[in-house]
């Protein structure tokens, strides 16, 4: 399948792996790139030495293109943004903010820049700033989210922009990919499906929560802090949601007890204190498979439907 996204990024399939903070490291990213998509390493709030090491290890495991996601709320986003240039990273996606100030230098370095956007307004600003494409991310996504759904957001972003649009949020199989293409997307970004991949390095407890999740097992917490986040329902995320609803947790207390909670989920599998960020489509993800099988299945399913 050739689209402007496969041409832009030099990949076989227009499937980009989500740049999931703490989750998306070189083993997963290289597996997705070797499968024909674009793997991403998440910068998150990691130290610069960690990200440099991950980029170098990824280069050892794949000769295919891969990218880095810069989380713009990170205190060291400036350093991580420069590191992408220094290490010759080919593709950068961004999340949780406006990457406008980095775009000119990334472009000068020949990097393909793909901001993740939750709204038409930000998408238009990114096109004007020189972005090569955008990821239009619906509220079905895991982690930090906007309010618009994938079904509503994607066609509106497609109508508003000339550059190609990648759809994200609620896509985990060929049907979702075909649907996104019917809305005008030329690629998809997939996170949750790759959580349940063999190459994903998260704690086994995290994978089990994804696999066991039903359609109603995701919850959005933290709207009152200004950073809404979609998680798998656990005792901890229910406590956060209740505390937010009944006022028993102040926004400051909320921030305090969620500090470090991504690491506790991903590394420790700690269900009492960890935030298991995950998309609403987890209910449909029931099996751990290698990334290559996941990618081939999604592509075969989408191509069959789109050929009809
Ligand atoms: O960034 C994501 N998903 C993420 S980042 C993350 S780590 C984190 N942890 C706690 C709090 C915040 C982040 C976990 N998941 N997705 C892309 C995304 N970007 N979703 C929403 C946005 C976004 C939101 C507001 C982008 C720009 C924006 O405003 C920009 C502006 O300044 O106008």
Q: For residue 287, what pLDDT is reported?
A: 98
Is the pTM higher than 0.95? yes
Q: For residue 106, what pLDDT is reported?
A: 98
Q: For residue 263, what pLDDT is reported?
A: 97
Site of tokens 């102040």: 250
42 Cβ closer than 6 Å to some ligand 1 atom: no
CB distance 218 to 233 below 8 Å:
yes
Q: For residue 22, what pLDDT is reported?
A: 97
Q: For residue 255, what pLDDT is reported?
A: 94
Closest ligand 1 atom to 44 CA: 7
Cβ neighbours of residue 134 closer than 8 Å, sequence gap 6 or more: 114, 115, 116, 117, 123, 126, 127, 157, 161, 163, 165, 166
Reported as a single tens digit per residue, the pLDDT across 115-174 is 999 999 999 999 999 999 999 999 999 999 999 999 999 999 999 999 999 999 999 999
Q: For residue 212, what pLDDT is reported?
A: 98
Q: How far apart are the CA of 191 and the centre of ligand 1, in A?
A: 15
Q: For residue 307, what pLDDT is reported?
A: 96
Cβ neighbours of residue 113 closer than 8 Å, sequence gap 6 or more: 92, 94, 99, 102, 103, 106, 107, 130, 131, 132
In angstroms, the CA 34 to CA 161 distance is: 30
Q: For residue 230, what pLDDT is reported?
A: 98
Confidence of residue 305 (pLDDT cuts 50, 70, 90): very high
**CA angle, 14 then 20 then 22, to 5°:** 145
SS3 content of the chain, % helix, strand, coil (to 5): 45, 15, 40
Site of tokens 């709207």: 223
CB distance 114 to 166 below 8 Å:
yes
Confidence of residue 47 (pLDDT cuts 50, 70, 90): very high
Nearest CA to ligand 1 atom 21: 145
Reported as a single tens digit per residue, the pLDDT across 223-250 is 999 999 999 999 999 999 999 999 999 9
Write the DSSP symbol of residue 254. Answer: H
> Mutation test of ligand 1: which of 92, 96, 116 has the most ligand atoms closer than 8 Å to its C-beta?
96
What is the chain's length?
Answer: 308
Confidence of residue 258 (pLDDT cuts 50, 70, 90): very high
Confidence of residue 271 (pLDDT cuts 50, 70, 90): very high
Reported as a single tens digit per residue, the pLDDT across 58-113 is 999 999 999 999 999 999 999 999 999 999 999 999 999 999 999 999 999 999 99
Q: For residue 224, what pLDDT is reported?
A: 95
Reported as a single tens digit per residue, the pLDDT across 185-219 is 999 999 999 999 999 999 999 999 999 999 999 99
Confidence of residue 179 (pLDDT cuts 50, 70, 90): very high
Q: For residue 260, what pLDDT is reported?
A: 96
Q: How far apart are the CA of 178 and the centre of ligand 1, in A?
A: 26
């Amino acid at each position: 399948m050739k689209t402007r996204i496969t041409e832009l990024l030099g990949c076989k399939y227009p499937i980009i792996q989500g740049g999931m903070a703490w989750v998306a490291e070189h083993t997963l990213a290289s597996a997705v790139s070797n499968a024909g998509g674009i793997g991403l390493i998440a910068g998150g709030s990691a130290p610069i030495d960690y990200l440099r090491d991950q980029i170098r290890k990824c280069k050892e495991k794949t000769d295919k293109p891969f990218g880095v996601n810069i989380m713009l709320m990170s205190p060291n986003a400036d350093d991580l943004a420069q590191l992408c240039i220094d290490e010759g990273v080919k593709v950068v996606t961004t999340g949780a903010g406006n990457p406008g100030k980095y775009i000119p230098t990334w472009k000068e370095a020949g990097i393909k820049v793909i901001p993740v956007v939750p709204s038409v307004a930000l998408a238009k600003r990114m096109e004007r700033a020189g972005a090569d494409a955008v990821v239009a991310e619906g509220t079905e996504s895991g982690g930090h989210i906007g309010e618009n759904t994938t079904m509503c957001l994607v066609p509106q972003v497609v109508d508003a922009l000339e550059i190609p649009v990648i759809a994200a949020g609620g896509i985990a199989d060929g049907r979702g990919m075909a649907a996104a293409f019917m809305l005008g997307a030329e690629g998809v970004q997939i996170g949750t499906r790759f959580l349940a991949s063999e190459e994903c390095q998260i704690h086994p407890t995290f994978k089990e929560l994804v696999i066991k999740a039903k359609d109603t097992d995701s919850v959005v917490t933290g709207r009152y802090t200004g950073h809404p986040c979609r998680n798998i329902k656990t005792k901890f995320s229910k406590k956060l949601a209740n505390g937010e609803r009944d006022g028993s947790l102040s926004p400051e207390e909320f921030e305090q007890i969620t500090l470090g909670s991504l690491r506790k989920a991903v590394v420790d599998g700690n269900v009492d204190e960890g935030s298991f960020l995950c998309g609403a489509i987890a209910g449909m993800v029931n099996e751990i498979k290698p990334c290559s099988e996941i990618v081939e299945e999604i592509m075969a399913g989408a191509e069959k439907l789109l050929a009809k």
